[in-house]
């Protein structure tokens, strides 16, 4: 097999045997360390030159020289030089470019939003201008803070465009699927969000990384994102990392300077491992509970939370009032329809009214005229703690408590910017589903002597691994670290670290593949309470495993805006389902006959006291 070759500036140089090391891991810059030498000082590497590693004609690694340490072997032979080099991959191009529009002197902002109106009779949305969208494109919808989204749509869901026209379209839960039933037209301004993370990545390369020699043909669309505004302290690399996190993606720049922005399940390893494959050695398994989670606190943006509005009448003496709930965020204060300035009590002055976060009291400034019986005070606010959604797995908590002799609770706190409460709850369930168990971390070594394709291993690849001697049943693992070292300058040895794939594929993708979660009931809002979703009412979910033909009973008679998720697991029957009188029955109640299949139903309450289906049911079969 060919020896490893190091090139600097396109010229092959002499590498000192045993000094070559490449280190690559997810989320970090891959680096190459090597010592090269020149007997007559005929070359001198400089920072910024290209440095490449080849195996024959195959380029394994490429980047630029980031650090040079120059040494002479002896003082008697000053022309003999050795250079200890550190190379870093091309992502460094984007570490020193920032999200700032130099030409216009302002931060970069990316938005692709379209105002629309909804026609319930045809399930059609009409935008005020040409939207440029095609069938299969993904979008979200938003409503004015003081308005309501058209019935049938949910601000926490990504939809697919169907029946696209110049300024009209319909929305579906699946690509090319049936249009969502629009129940009513909604109120005030409504917005179609068409911004995609991958489009923003491409725009950043043009707007903030001009003249950098990077290709973008491998940039996938990614998640639908709201309006993005970065400040001058955010590097382009940091911005792309944020977009990758939102999308459940990873990003890297390959040896040919092509930028990849792709799902974490994008590539597979060139080979698998089994108990008898003989293409690896020094196999080890680490099992740990260090990041175990069976109870999740999901923090969402305040603008995803429904608000409370309370009215008070003056009496000629009162200067403070007690709200029904403690204040988490104040939205507005008005007297007789006139907006009043407000601030945090004891922290600021010269305002008309004051509130204190975490209390239910609102106070009037002493300089304000005391309200009389003819005055009306209106306070609009969001409840304290309502931006944190709590979810847990009671069964795992109980079994853990029995095994460990303690509470069994392993809590985790997670930020979920840009998504609604319902999706945050789903994310929390998914996080728990994949983090409540003990995780397997696999380490092994391989080389070109036992596996000819070993040099093609990269962080981010998915690999099938099985080893019965270590009690590792066949499963999919994500490679997160790869190290390469030369052995005597003759061949390459590769070290690999991999982890259970569900730890890294992203909770959104994992949730979609799981379709139902593992919990029996849920509430949204402060712990133990049912609170607002958007501008509607409460939200809850039910999980039911069928043991007979079953009528699904509503947990309560709904109010307008309430949200209900029902997850049905088919039993051995197969069995059929129906819904009680609290449900409008104009929806498909057929479910798969396969035992173990999970079907999810999504309902929203209306003012007639019934649950109405938001979309068609969604089913997944399990082997």
**So what's the pLDDT on residue 229?**
85
**So what's the pLDDT on residue 365?**
95
Burial of 311-348, coded b for 16+ CB within 10 Å and e otherwise, reads ebebeeeeeebebebbbbbbbebbbeeeebebbebeee
Residue 159 in 3-state DSSP?
strand
The rounded distance, in Å, linking the Cα atoms of 620 and 604 is 22
State the chain's mean pLDDT as an integer.
84
In percent, how much of the chain has pLDDT > 90?
A: 45
**So what's the pLDDT on residue 418?**
64
Is pLDDT above 60 for 511? Answer: no
Burial of 109-124, coded b for 16+ CB within 10 Å and e otherwise, reads ebebbbebebeeeebb
Average pLDDT over residues 47-64: 90
**So what's the pLDDT on residue 158?**
84
Determine the Cα angle at 499 with ends 496 and 501, to 5°.
125
**Between the CA of residue 162 and those of 124, 173, 607, what are the distances in Å?**
10, 10, 29
The helix or strand, by DSSP H or E, that contains position 403, with its residue range, turns out to be helix 394-404
- Those residues whose C-beta lies under 8 Å from the C-beta of residue 440, and which sit 6 or more positions away, are 285, 286, 287, 472, 475, 477, 499, 500
pLDDT confidence bin for 359, thresholds 50/70/90: very high
Most confident of 93-107, 345-359, 500-514, 548-562: 345-359
Under a CB-based contact definition with an 8 Å cutoff, are residues 156 and 226 in contact?
A: no
Is pLDDT above 60 for 529? Answer: no
pLDDT digits (tens, 9 = 90+) for 203-262: 999 999 989 999 999 999 988 888 888 878 899 999 999 898 888 788 999 889 999 998
Is pLDDT above 70 for 531? Answer: no
**So what's the pLDDT on residue 561?**
64
Structure tokens at 584: 């409008």
**So what's the pLDDT on residue 89?**
93
Question: pTM here?
Answer: 0.64
**So what's the pLDDT on residue 425?**
79
Is pLDDT above 90 for 585? Answer: no
The helix or strand, by DSSP H or E, that contains position 467, with its residue range, turns out to be strand 461-467
Residue 310, number of CB atoms within 10 A of its CB: 15
Residue 154 in 3-state DSSP?
coil
Is pLDDT above 50 for 479? Answer: yes
Residue 576, number of CB atoms within 10 A of its CB: 15
The rounded distance, in Å, linking the Cα atoms of 86 and 81 is 16
């Amino acid at each position: 097999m060919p020896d490893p070759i190091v090139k600097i500036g396109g010229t092959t140089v002499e590498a000192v045997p045993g000094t070559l090391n490449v280190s690559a891991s997810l989320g970090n810059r891959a680096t190459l360390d090597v010592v090269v030498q020149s007997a007559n000082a005929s070359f001198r590497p400089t920072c910024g030159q290209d440095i490449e590693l080849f195996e024959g004609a195959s380029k394994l690694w490429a980047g630029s020289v980031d650090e040079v340490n120059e040494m002479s072997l002896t003082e008697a032979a000053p022309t003999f030089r050795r250079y200890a080099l550190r190379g870093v991959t091309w992502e460094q191009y984007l570490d020193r470019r920032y999200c700032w529009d130099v030409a216009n002197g302002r931060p970069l902002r990316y938005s692709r939003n379209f105002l629309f109106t909804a026609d319930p009779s045809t399930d059609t949305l009409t935008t005020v201008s040409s939207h440029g969208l095609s069938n299969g494109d993904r979008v979200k919808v938003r409503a004015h803070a003081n308005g309501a989204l058209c019935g049938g749509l949910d601000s926490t869901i990504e939809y697919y465009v169907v029946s696209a026209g110049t300024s009209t379209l319909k929305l579906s839960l699946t690509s090319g699927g049936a249009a969502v039933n629009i129940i009513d037209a909604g109120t005030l301004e409504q917005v179609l969000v068409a911004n995609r993370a991958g489009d923003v990545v491409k725009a950043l390369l043009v707007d903030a990384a001009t003249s950098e020699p990077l290709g973008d043909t491998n940039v996938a669309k990614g998640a639908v994102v709201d309006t993005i505004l970065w400040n001058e302290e955010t590097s382009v690399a940091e911005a792309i990392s944020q977009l990758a996190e939102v999308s459940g993606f990873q990003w890297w720049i390959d040896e040919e300077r092509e930028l990849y922005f792709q799902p974490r399940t994008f590539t597979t390893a060139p080979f698998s491992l089994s108990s008898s494959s003989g293409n690896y050695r020094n196999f080890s398994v680490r099992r740990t509970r260090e990041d175990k989670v069976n109870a999740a606190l999901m923090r969402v943006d305040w603008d995803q939370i429904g608000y409370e509005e309370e009215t008070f009448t003056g009496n000629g003496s009162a200067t403070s009032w007690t709200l029904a709930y403690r204040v988490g965020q104040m939205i507005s204060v008005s007297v007789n329809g006139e907006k009043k300035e407000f601030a945090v009590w004891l922290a600021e002055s010269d305002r008309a009214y004051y509130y204190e976060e975490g209390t239910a009291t609102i106070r009037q400034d002493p300089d304000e005229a005391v309200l009389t019986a003819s005055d009306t005070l209106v306070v609009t606010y969001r409840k304290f703690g309502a931006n944190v959604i709590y979810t847990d797995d009671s069964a795992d908590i109980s079994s853990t408590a029995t095994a460990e002799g303690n509470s069994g609770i392993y809590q985790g706190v997670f930020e979920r910017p840009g998504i609604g409460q319902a999706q945050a709850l789903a994310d929390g369930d998914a996080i728990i589903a994949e983090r409540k168990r003990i995780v397997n971390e696999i380490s092994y070594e391989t080389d070109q002597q036992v596996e000819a394709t070993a040099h093609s291993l990269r962080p981010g690849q998915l690999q099938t691994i099985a080893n019965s001697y270590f009690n590792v049943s066949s499963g999919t693992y994500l490679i997160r670290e790869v190290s390469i070292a030369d052995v005597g300058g003759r061949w390459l040895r590769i070290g690999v670290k991999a982890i259970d794939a569900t730890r890294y594929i992203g909770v959104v993708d994992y949730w979609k593949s799981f379709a139902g979660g593992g919990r029996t009931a849920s509430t949204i809002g402060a712990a133990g309470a049912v609170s607002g979703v958007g501008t509607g009412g409460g939200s809850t979910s039910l999980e039911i495993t069928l043991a007979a033909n079953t009528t699904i009973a509503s947990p309560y008679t709904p109010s307008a805006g309430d949200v209900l998720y029902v997850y049905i697991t088919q039993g051995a029957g197969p069995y059929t389902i129906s819904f009680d009188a609290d449900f409008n029955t104009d929806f498909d109640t057929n479910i798969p006959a396969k035992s173990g299949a999970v079907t999810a139903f999504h309902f929203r309450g209306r003012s007639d006291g019934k649950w109405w289906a938001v979309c068609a049911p969604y089913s997944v079969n399990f082997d």
